[in-house]
Amino acid sequence: MIKPHGAETLNPLYVSDEVKRAELTKEAEQLPAVLLSSGAAASAVMLASGYFTPLTGYMNIDEAISVAADMKLPNGLFWPVPVMNIVPPEQLTDAVKNAKRIALRDPNVEGNPPLAVMKVSAIETLSADQKQFLIEKTFGTTDPEHPGVPAFANVGDNVLSGPIEVLNYSYFREDFPNTFRTAVEIREDIAARGWNTVVAFQTRNPMHRAHEGLCKIAQKEVNADGILIHMLLGKLKPGDIPADVRDAAIRAMVEHYFPENTVSITGYGFDMLYAGPREALLHAVFRQNCGATHFIVGRDHAGAGDYYGAFDAQEIFDTIPEDALEIGIFRGNFTVWSKKCNEIVMMSDSPHDADDYFSISGTKLREMLAAGEPPPPEIARPEVAQILMKYYQTEANA
């Protein structure tokens, strides 16, 4: 199986020993504490799950600046996006300032229970110029209308860095018991299935015929034993479809339209950054960590609005060192129903006249679903459409 990123074995930071975890949980209740941002809490879950191997905790300012500037840590490890714990001034109490160890409390679970314990390596303050630099390099813009920028810009200026030990998986294990999986669990599943070549597909949306076709095209081209459909389960921007609806729609599609034991449906606990090219690189890192040998990077991968070009997230892979990642990248083109071929094709592989392709806009598709009008079968499988129509009609009547 493909090696984890920058390591021989995974480095999950979840405290798996029950006795030690109970002791740490008890200690955490007595420690000075900060309330994490949702993004920092999601990063703790990713660290716990092994997806962020080989990181051991949150980055300090020098490390974050190095990552933003050169996509590598000061020790030379390739890493595309800063992983930081930034808090507002009211969280930085005297007790926290003087502590060697602090509890990190979960903002997404009722009662804000301890999510992790951190050994405090440094407490620093970001300057306005440093914060602007981190935002611009990560997102390619400082526009406050970008959905990812405010989550970084408004979280505070105080940077707490150091190694962490994670006590739980926040709400993900309880809310998505059939879907949430750690990188450790996915590697174990791949081995149990006997798969050697695995192509991973990232999604924060339900999968329509074009997505289904792209997965099948990629599987065929790389001769993969299986497809890892790996959906984001964390926080999204307004208007995106909730994870439970996506999950149901994807499972309906796989059940009816993929051969048995060719697809693993899983999810991971992270908040969407909408960072386009940089996030595509991060997605590749944690797909390598969960054992996939290939990763599909499609059109406008991890993008939002018009902030990135359609294929910027593919082209950024041409700018990194050849040895930065071991995972192979499958570059998806415009994927659409071909009237001539009577199937889903990538337009780059089957160039026809524009009239030979069947497509409708996303706006039109949402209008049809909200009206209870089934989309054309060339666009969405009927089993998927039924789930989405129910969701959109419920939203429209809310």
Q: Where are the domains of the chain?
A: 18-173, 178-397
Q: What is the pLDDT of residue 397?
A: 61
Degrees to nearest 5, angle at CA 162 with 156 and 168: 90
Q: Of 131, 139, 136, whose CA–CA distance to 159 is shortest?
A: 131
Q: What is the pLDDT of residue 309?
A: 94
pTM of the model: 0.94
- Hey, CA dihedral for 163, 165, 170, 176, is it positive or negative? positive
Q: What is the DSSP string of 175-227?
A: H-TTTB--HHHHHHHHHHHT-SSEEEEEESS---HHHHHHHHHHHHHHT-SEE
* Catalytic residue selected from 21, 173, 204, 366: 204
Is 205 catalytic? The answer is yes
Split at pLDDT 50, 70, 90, the class of 396 is low
Structure confidence by residue, pLDDT tens digits, 349-385:
777 776 777 877 777 888 888 888 888 888 899 999 9
AA letter at 206 = P
Is 209 catalytic? The answer is no
Structure confidence by residue, pLDDT tens digits, 306-332:
999 999 999 999 999 999 999 999 999
Q: The domain 18-173 is classified under which CATH number: 3.40.50.1970, 1.10.8.60, 3.90.1150.10, 3.10.400.10?
A: 3.10.400.10
Q: Is the pLDDT of residue 398 over 60?
A: no
CA–CA dist 111, 83 (Å, integer): 25
Q: Are 219 and 263 in contact (CB under 8 A)?
A: no
Q: What is the mean pLDDT of residues 286-306?
A: 94
* Catalytic residue selected from 173, 193, 196, 205: 205
Q: Which residue has the higher pLDDT, 207 or 118?
A: 118
Instruction: Please identify, in words, the CATH class of the domain defined by 178-397.
Output: alpha beta
Degrees to nearest 5, angle at CA 181 with 321 and 248: 110
Structure confidence by residue, pLDDT tens digits, 148-162:
999 999 999 999 999
